[in-house]
Amino acid sequence: MKLTFRWYGENDPVTLEKIRQIPTMTGIVSAVYDVAPGGVWSRESIARIKELAEANDLEFEVVESVPVHEEIKLGTKNAEKLIDIYCENVKRLGEAGVKCICYNFMPVFDWLRSKLEYKHADGCNSLSYHEEDLMKMDPKKGELSLPGWDASYTKEQMGKLLDDYANVDEEKLFGNLKIFLDAVIPVAKAAGVNMAIHPDDPPWGIFGLPRIITGEKNLERFLSLVDEKENGLTFCTGALGANPENDMVRMAGKFADRIHFVHLRNVLHLGKRDFVEVGHPTSCGSLDMYGIAKALVDGGFDGYVRPDHGRMIWGETNSHYGYGLYDRALGATYIAGLFEAIERSKQ
Ligand code: DNO
């Protein structure tokens, strides 16, 4: 297991100098942030991230994300050209020593929360999701701006995009994903890169849009679309684990050999479709973090792990919600301890 930490580039207040001081940290997870989805990443920009990381004794082997253009998900006539550009980025990243690319196939929205600062009894705050609040939002009416999106849209663009998806159901989306994978996976294989799809977060349809990377059955189907090691998963425990019906320990074990990247974080279920983000350890939330990590190790997982969204503690603020330093650093040392204990008990 290699412990990694997300870094949002040179404007990130969580600097590389700070990240390198977290015990057992091996590398960063980053991306070229100034190119819109569908653009080519310059070799210089990629090399710059690597240089800055290495100057701080950190590796740059994981990219999150190379975003997939909406027209690829929609399967428009431009899709083929955009997939070629995607392949070019995969090739360039492989040349620069990147070993794993995280991406997602969620229509329009990336991860979604209804509250950015849910107040906890101990005075900290975190992201949370309440289905009832979401039902009250209409993305066609307001210019919603929620955390984590790679693109932001005007009201008009959003309306058009949602209309374009009217004819895309789960089957069509799976079909468009297969077209994408058929082209990208051979390129990734040649470039020495593992592709790792991120599950949909939350793992159910929102605003009438289809979502397909949601649970055990669909993950199995996804992996069989192209049955190659390079067609793998980002096992995001907070995303998949938001659905109480997902048996996370079982899935971790079952898919361990196709999991290349793990986002290890806990959530507390407040209801069927309501949850709040909490500290990483098992006793803080609803997920069995030890059970998940053990199932991964027992199943032969040997990839990258990073702590995921942290709470805002000790007065920290950060415009990247969930991506402050303190709680993620606590999460990192918890993860390091979990894996050390599990791996040593097997020796
Ligand atoms: C949220 C992240 C996601 C993830 C993308 C991958 O914190 O885990 O935004 O980066 O879905 O493409």
Catalogue the active-site residues.
198, 236, 263, 308-309, 323
Strands 267-271 and 274-277: antiparallel
Q: Is residue 157 over pLDDT 60?
A: yes
Beta bridge partners of 131: none
Per-residue pLDDT, 194? 98
Backbone angles phi, psi at 226, to 5 degrees: -140, 105
Q: CB of 103 closer than 6 A to ligand 1?
A: yes
User: Would the CB of 148 count as within 6 Å of ligand 1?
Assistant: yes
pLDDT for the residue 136 = 85
CA distance 239 to 196: 14
Q: What is the DSSP string of 155-209?
A: HHHHHHHHHHGGG--HHHHHHHHHHHHHHHHHHHHHHT-EEEEEPPSSSS-BTTB
Tokens of 288: 């069995």
Ligand 1 within 6 A of 165 CB? Answer: no
Question: Which two three-digit tokens encode residue 32?
Answer: 């070229």
Query: What is the pLDDT at residue 151?
Result: 57
Q: Which pLDDT belongs to residue 347?
A: 84
- How much distance in Å is there from the Cα of 346 to the middle of ligand 1? 32
Res 124 pLDDT > 60: yes
CATH number, domain 2-345, options 3.40.630.40, 3.40.50.11720, 3.30.300.30, 3.20.20.150:
3.20.20.150
Query: How distant, in Å, are the alpha carbons of 68, 187, 290 from that of 119?
Result: 34, 46, 26
| pLDDT tens digits, one per residue of 17-36 | 999 999 999 999 999 999 99
Separation between Cα atoms, residue 33 and residue 111, nearest integer Å: 17
Measured CA to CA, the distance from residue 19 to residue 27 in angstroms comes to: 9
Ligand 1 atom showing the smallest separation from residue 263 Cα: 8
Residue 150 has pLDDT above 70, yes or no: no
Mean pLDDT across the chain? 95
Ligand 1 near 277 CB (within 6 A): no
What proportion of the chain, given as a percentage, has pLDDT over 70?
Answer: 97
> Could you tell me the two tokens for 267?
């959530």
Pocket probe mutation, ligand 1, options 201, 264, 265, 323, max atoms within 8 Å of Cβ: 201
pTM of structure: 0.96
pLDDT by residue (tens digit) across 271-318? 999 999 999 999 999 999 999 999 999 999 999 999 999 999 999 999
Q: What is the 3-state secondary structure (H, E, C) of 103-159?
A: EECCCCCCCCCCEEEEECCCCCEEEEEEHHHHHCCCCCCCCCCCCCCCCCCCHHHHH
Region 145-157 average pLDDT: 66
What is the Å distance from ligand 1's center to 110 Cα? 7
- Residues 195-241 pLDDT 10s: 999 999 999 998 889 999 999 999 999 999 999 999 999 999 999 99
The span from the CA of 87 to the CA of 101, in Å, is 12
What's the rounded mean pLDDT across residues 153-157?
79
pLDDT at 142 over 90: no
CB 58 within 8 A of CB 16: yes
Residue 32 Cα to chain centre, angstroms: 16
- Nearest atom, ligand 1, residue 104 CA: 12
Domain boundaries, the chain: 2-345
**pLDDT tens figures, 160-180:** 899 999 999 999 999 999 999
pLDDT for the residue 148: 52
d(CA 65, CA 101): 7
pLDDT number for residue 147: 59
Terminal C-alpha separation, the chain: 15
The 10s digit of each residue's pLDDT in 74-84 is: 999 999 999 99
CA 239 to ligand 1: nearest atom: 8
Answer with the residue of higher pLDDT: 155 or 44.
44
The secondary structure of 77-106, three-state, reads: CCHHHHHHHHHHHHHHHHHCCCCEEEEECC
Minimum-distance ligand 1 atom for the alpha carbon of 149: 9
Does the pLDDT value for residue 67 go beyond 90?
Answer: yes
